[in-house]
């Protein structure tokens, strides 16, 4: 087939995040509102990795794992960008095929049309390296049936490697990984409801956006302000999210922020670039923001005691409302902090067409779009602290 695999730079590192999303080069059609663009680094994989990489920071960049399929037409400058992230990336070259490309067409109200321009090459769990298959978290963008299949295959392959004595020596190797599932938009239809419920029961986080969730249940969209919206959440939680029903339904709602629901708690966080907020920038392009949100969420769940976590905890240390909302379970603290990271990560992605730009300051600090990830985490958390003290019920509710 003419395919050559360039292995990840540190294949023996302890991988914490892997996406099974595809790498795609995007052509974006803005419907006449601005000039169209081509050859944009994109696909669910790229954006999810950016989200995870933001949270991992340079110190843990090699813990972010993925696969990039490179065809004969792959632009070398895009490869340079990928390498600059220093992730655990397996680059597979095949000069006998074209790189996966797609067309994105935008309409008012963030509605998007999407189609592939070249044959896609789907990633399978069997393609992951041994270290990648023992990742602490997995991100998927796929149908319900494929979601169930991926979870089964990953767990089965881990068990086979354990029996062969090829599992990492860390305690984490024996734990079930965290599975984060993004339902593919095309299959968010009423006919898929039962399959959706079945898939939600095998993952730890299921995350449609508000339009996709509405379409799944025959509505134009979802809103927490409506009785039908609240009943829909109850119905999904009653069916179960996660193998033991302890998972989270995370609904991404664009400029309205995001909502996370479990059997015991409801969390709401405003968008980073919340309308009418001082310092908020105009949203240039929402492409990939949801993928980056979930990549950051997954990485955040397993980033205990690192610098970004310490930043959040230092700001919220004096908040009794935060303590009450998160003290009853370590898991709640993890998800709440991870949601903050996810929100900030999505804020970076919407500021330009394509992925945010990485650079290094004169004093050696890692910058994205000219600012440090943790500095934005600090600013967002300070904003959250002020409004949390005024209106805690807006953000946290315990069932």
pLDDT at 284: 85
For the stretch 252-292, pLDDT in tens is 999 999 999 999 999 999 999 976 666 566 788 888 999 99
Residue ranges of domains in the chain: 3-398
Cα(143)–Cα(28) distance, integer angstroms: 24
Rounded to the nearest integer, the mean pLDDT of the chain is 90
pLDDT at 48: 98
- Measured in whole angstroms, the distance separating CA 175 from the mean position of its chain's CA atoms is 21
pLDDT at 316: 94
- Helix, strand, coil fractions of the chain, as percent rounded to 5: 45, 20, 35
% pLDDT > 70, the chain = 92
Angstrom CA distances, 215 to 185, 225, 236, 253, 290, stand at 9, 17, 14, 14, 17
Phi and psi at residue 258, in whole multiples of 5°? -145, 155
Angstrom CA distances, 173 to 158, 165, 166, 385, stand at 8, 11, 10, 36
Average pLDDT over residues 204-216: 96
For the stretch 123-166, pLDDT in tens is 999 999 999 999 999 999 999 999 999 999 999 999 999 999 99
Reported CATH class of domain 3-398 = alpha beta
pLDDT at 333: 66
For the stretch 48-87, pLDDT in tens is 999 999 999 999 999 999 999 999 999 999 999 999 999 9
Average pLDDT over residues 363-392: 95
pLDDT at 328: 62
Q: How confident is the model at residue 398 (pLDDT cuts 50, 70, 90)?
A: confident
Do residues 48 and 295 lie in contact, with contact meaning Cβ atoms separated by under 8 Å?
A: yes
Angstrom CA distances, 93 to 53, 66, 76, 97, stand at 23, 14, 12, 9
pLDDT at 13: 57
Pick the closest to residue 205 from 154, 146, 236, 248 (CA basis). Answer: 248
Angstrom CA distances, 70 to 25, 104, 108, 125, 204, stand at 10, 20, 33, 18, 31
For the stretch 302-340, pLDDT in tens is 998 899 999 999 999 999 988 887 876 666 668 999 999
């Amino acid at each position: 087939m003419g395919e050559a695999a360039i292995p990840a730079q540190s294949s023996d590192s302890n991988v914490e995040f892997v996406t099974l999303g595809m790498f795609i080069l995007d052509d974006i059609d803005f419907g006449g509102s601005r000039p169209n663009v081509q050859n944009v680094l994109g696909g669910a994989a790229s954006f999810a990795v950016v989200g995870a990489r933001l949270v991992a920071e340079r110190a843990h960049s090699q813990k972010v794992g993925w696969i990039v399929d490179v065809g004969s037409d792959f632009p070398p400058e895009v490869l340079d960008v990928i390498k600059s992230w220093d992730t655990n990336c397996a680059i597979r070259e095949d000069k006998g095929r074209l790189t996966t490309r797609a067309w994105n067409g935008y309409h008012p109200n963030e509605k998007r049309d999407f189609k592939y321009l070249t044959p896609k090459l789907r990633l399978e769990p069997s393609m992951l390296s041994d270290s990648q298959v023992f990742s602490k978290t997995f991100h998927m963008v796929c149908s319900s049936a494929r979601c169930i299949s991926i979870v089964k295959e990953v767990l089965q392959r881990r068990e086979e490697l354990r029996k062969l004595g090829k599992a990492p020596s860390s305690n984490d190797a024996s734990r079930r990984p965290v599975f984060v599932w993004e339902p593919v938009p095309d299959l968010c239809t009423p006919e898929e409801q039962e399959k959706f419920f079945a898939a939600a029961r095998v993952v730890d986080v299921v995350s449609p956006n508000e339009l996709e969730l509405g379409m799944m249940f025959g509505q134009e969209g979802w809103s927490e302000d409506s009785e039908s919206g609240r009943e829909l959440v109850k119905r999904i939680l009653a069916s179960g999210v996660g193998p033991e029903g302890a998972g989270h339904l995370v609904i991404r709602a664009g400029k309205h922020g995001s909502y996370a629901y479990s059997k015991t708690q409801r969390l709401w966080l405003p968008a980073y670039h919340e309308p009418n907020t001082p310092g908020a920038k105009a949203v240039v392009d929402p492409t990939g923001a949801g993928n980056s949100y979930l990549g950051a969420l997954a990485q955040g769940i397993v980033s205990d005691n690192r610098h970004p976590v310490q930043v959040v905890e230092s700001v919220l240390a004096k908040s009794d409302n935060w303590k009450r909302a998160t003290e009853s379970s370590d898991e709640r603290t993890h998800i709440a902090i991870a949601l903050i990271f996810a929100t900030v990560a999505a804020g970076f992605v919407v500021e330009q067409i394509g992925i945010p730009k990485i650079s290094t300051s004169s004093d050696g600090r890692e910058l994205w779009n000219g600012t440090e990830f943790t500095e934005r985490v600090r600013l967002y958390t300070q904003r959250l602290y002020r409004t949390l003290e005024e209106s805690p019920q807006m953000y946290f509710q315990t069932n």
